[in-house]
Structure 1
């Protein structure tokens, strides 16, 4: 039987479209005179933010812009300054606006009803998560365990360390009894590295990169095309399951439980 579900946060359970980190990254790099596209930001979304900034600074276009601006490549001090600006911007945004995605509470209550533990991993820092966690709790979403890379000596995703930490805390030895749910490819890699079942969420995901309004304004054919585009990305990294909405997770849990029952 499935004993635990581990959710990501932004783009999965809160912040439809994972907009907060995109806005904060753009602002921090703009302060340094560097322009970023959404695609450049989202390609490594889900990593610990310090690591993510390092990835962005390694992009050819960013290096070129930096050379033109400063006649040199970025240093560790430059990275630290961008990280500080990013943190300030993101913390401000999180205080202002952190909403649950549709279906989160219904799915969370289903898991609680059937005795399935709920935990989370994230690319956010503990300081960021304190804000998000409190706002989510005000709306009724209260995972038993909220883990950041700071709990595992900085080993952020795609390392399996945070999931392994959760397994120890929950006293679960078999990774196949755990589901990891996320909205980025890094989420799927994290789950695969830990040996757990992986589920990618399509709508409201960082991979889709649309706000709720933008998605709702698409016609039916356009919505289907967008969903299929994201599904192909998840399938390209061999996610075990891909679902449109968090509400569809119930079917995955029931399917896996039935499959385990048959094996016994």
Structure 2
């Protein structure tokens, strides 16, 4: 059996981001009077940003009602849009475009999913030209489904968009423990973690992915070793 769809996370997996997400989240929370550490915020990478904001507000005994969470989230989104549109350090992860092309040449569709809101995701996709260059087939964000990670909703939405009915034919690739849990919840046939983002190898291994890669461009060699898809 071959794979039909590869679902990639964005920041930390296919997008190089030198801690800009955690910094923007910290700045937005600080503006609201919540002084969270970067270490605590990094541990929440991969989760929906409203959920991360609510968690930090509660942890600091601050109001975490819907209106307050929405206010902080709106601040965070604007900071991320400003950053992702212009920051020189933001770029595709090394090998991302090549891996997308390699998979698509072998009949594997490419889906992107993210805990960002759709406007941030589209900002990156447009900046990198991934859709215009025909490198991706679909993209989804946490604000477009009922539940974000670790629920399987985003993966299932991408499967529907790409016409894939069997989750065992899906590869999930991400840089956080919640990416791994998302892949397991969806029943993906292969769940791959990468060390290019929020988590180190040992931190990922405790969540039992099928493989841990140090570079995204190691994925073709992994698939060749396991015989799916045909690497020829």
- Structure-2-length-normalised TM-score: 0.89
In the TM superposition, what are the counterparts of 1:36-55 in structure 2 within 5 Å?
36-55=36-55
Q: How does 1:133-172 map to 2 (within 5 A)?
A: 133-137=125-129, 140=133, 142-152=135-145, 154-172=146-164
Higher strand share: 2
Cα distance, 1:171 vs structure 2: 2.4
Show the counterpart of 2:83. 93
Q: Any stretches of 5+ residues in structure 1 without a counterpart?
A: 67-72, 208-229
Q: 1:9-158, aligned counterparts within 5 Å?
A: 9-17=10-18, 19-59=19-59, 62-63=60-61, 66=62, 73-97=63-87, 98-137=90-129, 140=133, 142-152=135-145, 154-158=146-150
Segments ≥4 residues shifted beyond 6 Å: none
- Report deviation, 1:74: 4.2
1:140 Cα shift?
4.9
What are the ranges of 5 or more consecutive residues in structure 2 without an aligned counterpart?
none
Deviation for aligned residue 1:255: 2.8
Which of 221, 224, 231 is the matching residue for 1:254? 224
CA gap 1:141/1:104 in 2 versus in 1, 3 angstroms = farther
Q: How far 1:235 sits from its partner (Å)?
A: 1.2
Q: Distance in 1 between matches of 2:140 and 2:29?
A: 27
Q: Report how far residue 136 of structure 1 moved.
A: 1.8
Aligned residues: 225
User: Whose radius of gyration is greater, 1 or 2?
Assistant: 1
Aligned counterpart, 2:6: 5
Question: 1:113-151, CA deviations, whole angstroms, 9 ceiling, x for partnerless residues?
Answer: 212111011001111112111012169573110011233
RMSD of aligned Cα (Å): 2.0
Q: Deviations over 1:34-72 (max 9, x none)?
A: 22212110112111211121122232xx22xx4xxxxxx
Give me the TM-score of the superposition, normalised by structure 1: 0.79
Is residue 2:226 matched to residue 1:234?
no
Q: Which has the higher helix share?
A: 1
Distance 1:21 1:137, change over 3 A: same
Distance change (3 Å), C-alpha of 1:96 and 1:192: same
